[in-house]
């Protein structure tokens, strides 16, 4: 979501004649688009700001902080870094063009806009700086009403609001017309999508999937409590909806899930996983986990480990719990010992690695359709993804980037598959 917001800000500024530069020394305007899901991002922001302080003494620079940290910290950023010129929250970043132009004319003034605007729809931003033409990200809804006890998002992104179905479909058509073959539909909880006419997320997915020329549709993120049969049946009925479900459980213990205010039990979560598996179609299932949530006992942690064992995720994102200021958990629960959290995180990640190794071994010899995304990290091969979101590395020409090719899996590691193009 933050990445897309950055593309929108860059697009708005470029449409007004500003240029992006990779060379910091050449820049006159610095904009930090921030995330505060984890503590590290905030620390990083202030360390970057500190570096600019001296530079700003030597010449006129405009410095702005946008996004989630701006939203929750607001004025406090100016107290700590008074040389910052503007602060725009998550629901005002689209004003960036006017703000920058105003401050160039009125250098020295400060602007802080962190109002949660009350419009029922997210702003329709058309100027988006695109880096890849074959793959696009499209916002469908923003905000969250779930208030998981550890999470800062409802405070940084506000209440849920959705774009009109017709605007989303139009945007996707525009991208497909200029060469996009994969679309990622984004929202804090896509299953809460609601068009004012009453269309829900499966309806939207179904409409988008009818767009001619669109080869792949992905979406993120689904809240387990809202994942239902209607959604699964749309996914199964359309070839171009990727068979990958990101369904974050966070914990496998009912006691911890209750404290987290996740609004589902382990049993209900597993029922949804079984529903997906019973389809008989190969799905990639991924999830997010928080270990060391306050009061998490050894038996709670073992329940999480057993969930991993039962589901057999193709990949996971796992983190140690870190208290986010202002959340229910931060105000009401005592944080756990760091060493225990770290030990549990390592245990969980090592176990998941074993699971992935086993799952990947079983894929050797299979043939997958892979969308080529880039040159791999090591620079020797191409890197792409199957519709299940498995990462595959293989030899091939750079001209294949943005195309779908058939790849036979020949080798594997815990994280990636290796293969050979089938012509």
Q: How far is the CB of 140 from ligand SF4 (least distance, A)?
A: 15
Q: How far is the CB of 147 from ligand SF4 (least distance, A)?
A: 6
Binding status of residue 140 toward ligand SF4 by CB under 6 A: no
Q: How far is the CB of 286 from ligand SF4 (least distance, A)?
A: 15
Binding status of residue 371 toward ligand SF4 by CB under 6 A: no
- The answer to whether 308 and 269 are in contact (CB under 8 A) is no
Q: How is residue 184 written in tokens?
A: 């990622």
Query: What residues between 154 and 173 interact with ligand SF4 by CB under 6 A?
Result: 154
Give dist(CA 47, CA 40) in Å, integer.
Answer: 11
- The answer to whether 382 and 401 are in contact (CB under 8 A) is yes
Q: How far is the CB of 152 from ligand SF4 (least distance, A)?
A: 8
Give dist(CA 384, CA 365) in Å, integer.
Answer: 17
User: Which residue among 96, 151, 231, 371 contacts ligand SF4 (CB under 6 A)?
Assistant: 151
Number of residues located near ligand SF4, criterion CB under 6 A: 10
Binding status of residue 153 toward ligand SF4 by CB under 6 A: yes
Q: In what order do the strands lie in the sheet with 62-66?
A: 29-34, 62-66, 86-88, 111-113
Give dist(CA 230, CA 245) in Å, integer.
Answer: 14
The dihedral built from the CA positions of residue 152, 89, 60 and 25, taken in this order, carries a sign that is positive
Give dist(CA 301, CA 304) in Å, integer.
Answer: 5
Q: How far is the CB of 253 from ligand SF4 (least distance, A)?
A: 17
Give dist(CA 149, CA 170) in Å, integer.
Answer: 37
Binding status of residue 184 toward ligand SF4 by CB under 6 A: no
Scan for tokens 């949660």, then name that residue.
116
Please choose, out of 139-147, 233-241, 297-305, 388-396, the segment that lies near ligand SF4 by the rule CB under 6 A: 139-147
Please choose, out of 131-139, 143-151, 174-182, 271-279, the segment that lies near ligand SF4 by the rule CB under 6 A: 143-151
Count Cβ neighbours within 10 Å for each residue of 29-65 and write b for 16 or more, e otherwise.
bbbbbbbbeeeebbeebeeebeebeeebeeeebbbbb
Q: 55: number of CA atoms within 13 Å, CB side?
A: 16
Binding status of residue 147 toward ligand SF4 by CB under 6 A: yes
Q: How far is the CB of 340 from ligand SF4 (least distance, A)?
A: 23
335 Cβ contact list (under 8 Å, min separation 6): 294, 321, 323
Please choose, out of 148-156, 279-287, 382-390, 395-403, the segment that lies near ligand SF4 by the rule CB under 6 A: 148-156
Cα-flanking dihedrals φ and ψ of residue 157, to 5°?
Answer: -110, -5
Q: How is residue 47 written in tokens?
A: 């360390």
Of 99 and 290, the one with the shorter C-beta distance to ligand SF4 is: 290
Binding status of residue 72 toward ligand SF4 by CB under 6 A: no
Check residue 120 and report its DSSP letter.
Answer: S
The dihedral built from the CA positions of residue 73, 77, 79 and 85, taken in this order, carries a sign that is negative
Q: How far is the CB of 200 from ligand SF4 (least distance, A)?
A: 17
- The answer to whether 201 and 193 are in contact (CB under 8 A) is yes
Binding status of residue 189 toward ligand SF4 by CB under 6 A: yes
Of 156 and 209, the one with the shorter C-beta distance to ligand SF4 is: 156
Q: How far is the CB of 144 from ligand SF4 (least distance, A)?
A: 3
CA angle in degrees (0–180, nearest 5) for 22-111-115: 105
Site track 217-236 with ligand SF4 (rule: CB under 6 A), x = hit: ------x-------------
User: Which residue among 12, 62, 138, 148 contacts ligand SF4 (CB under 6 A)?
Assistant: 148
User: Which residue among 92, 188, 286, 352 contacts ligand SF4 (CB under 6 A)?
Assistant: 188
Please choose, out of 1-9, 76-84, 128-136, 141-149, the segment that lies near ligand SF4 by the rule CB under 6 A: 141-149
Enumerate binding residues for ligand SF4 (CB under 6 A).
144, 146-148, 151, 153-154, 188-189, 223
């Amino acid at each position: 979501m933050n990445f897309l917001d950055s593309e929108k800000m860059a697009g708005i500024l470029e449409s007004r004649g500003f240029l992006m530069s990779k060379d910091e020394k050449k820049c006159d305007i610095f904009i930090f688009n921030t995330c505060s899901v984890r503590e590290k991002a905030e620390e990083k922001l202030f360390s970057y700001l500190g570096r600019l302080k001296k530079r700003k003494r030597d010449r006129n620079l405009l410095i702005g902080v946008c996004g989630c940290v701006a939203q929750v910290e607001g004025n406090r950023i100016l107290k700590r870094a008074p040389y910052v010129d503007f602060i725009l929250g998550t629901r005002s970043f689209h004003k960036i063009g006017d703000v920058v132009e105003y401050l160039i004319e009125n250098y020295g003034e400060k602007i802080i806009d962190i109002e949660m605007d009350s419009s029922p729809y997210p702003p329709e931003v058309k100027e988006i700086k695109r880096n890849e033409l074959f793959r696009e990200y499209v916002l469908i809804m923003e905000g969250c009403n779930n208030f998981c006890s550890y999470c800062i998002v409802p405070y940084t992104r506000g209440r849920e609001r959705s774009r009109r179905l017709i605007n989303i479909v139009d945007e996707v058509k525009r991208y497909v017309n200029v060469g996009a073959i994969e679309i990622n539909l984004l929202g804090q909880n896509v299953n809460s999508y609601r068009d004012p006419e009453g269309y829900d997320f499966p309806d939207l997915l179904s409409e988008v999937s009818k767009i001619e020329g669109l080869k792949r549709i992905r979406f993120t993120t689904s809240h387990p409590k809202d994942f239902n049969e209607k959604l699964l049946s749309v996914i199964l009925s359309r070839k171009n909806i990727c068979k990958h479900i990101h369904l974050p459980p966070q914990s496998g213990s009912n006691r911890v899930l209750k404290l987290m205010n996740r609004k589902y039990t382990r049993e209900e979560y597993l029922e949804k996983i079984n529903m997906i598996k019973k389809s008989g179609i190969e799905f990639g299932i991924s999830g997010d986990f928080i270990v060391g949530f306050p009061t998490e006992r050894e038996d709670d942690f073992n329940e999480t480990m057993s969930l991993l064992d039962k589901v057999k995720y193709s990949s996971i994102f796992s983190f140690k719990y870190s208290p986010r200021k202002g959340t229910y958990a931060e105000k009401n629960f005592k944080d756990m010992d760091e060493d225990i959290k770290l030990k549990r995180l390592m245990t969980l990640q090592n176990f998941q690695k074993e699971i992935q190794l086993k799952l990947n071994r079983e894929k050797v010899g299979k043939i997958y359709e892979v969308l080529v995304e880039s040159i791999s990290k090591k620079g020797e091969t191409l890197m792409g993804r199957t519709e299940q979101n498995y990462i595959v590395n293989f030899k091939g020409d750079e001209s294949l980037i943005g195309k779908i090719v058939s790849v036979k899996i020949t080798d594997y590691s815990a994280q990636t598959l290796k293969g050979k193009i089938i012509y």
